[in-house]
Amino acid sequence: MAHPPANSKPPLERMRLDKWLWAARFYKTRSLATEEIGKGRVRVNGAEAKPAREVKPGDEIALRQGPLTRTVAVLGLSHLRGPAPVAQALYAETADSQAQRAAAAERQRLAPEPALSIDRGRPTKRDRRAISDADGWGDRWSARFDND
Q: What pLDDT, in 10s, does the model give residues 57-78? A: 999 999 998 888 999 999 999 8
Mean pLDDT over residues 110-124, rounded?
Answer: 79
Determine if residue 59 is left, alpha or beta; phi over 0 gives left, psi from -120 to 50 gives alpha, anything else beta. Answer: beta
* Residue 114 banded pLDDT, cuts 50, 70, 90: confident
- Count, residues in the chain: 148
Residue 140 has pLDDT above 70, yes or no: no
3-state DSSP assignment of residue 90: coil
33-43: average pLDDT: 94
Domains of the chain: 15-111 (3.10.290.10)
The answer to whether 20 touches 90, Cβ cutoff 8 Å, is yes
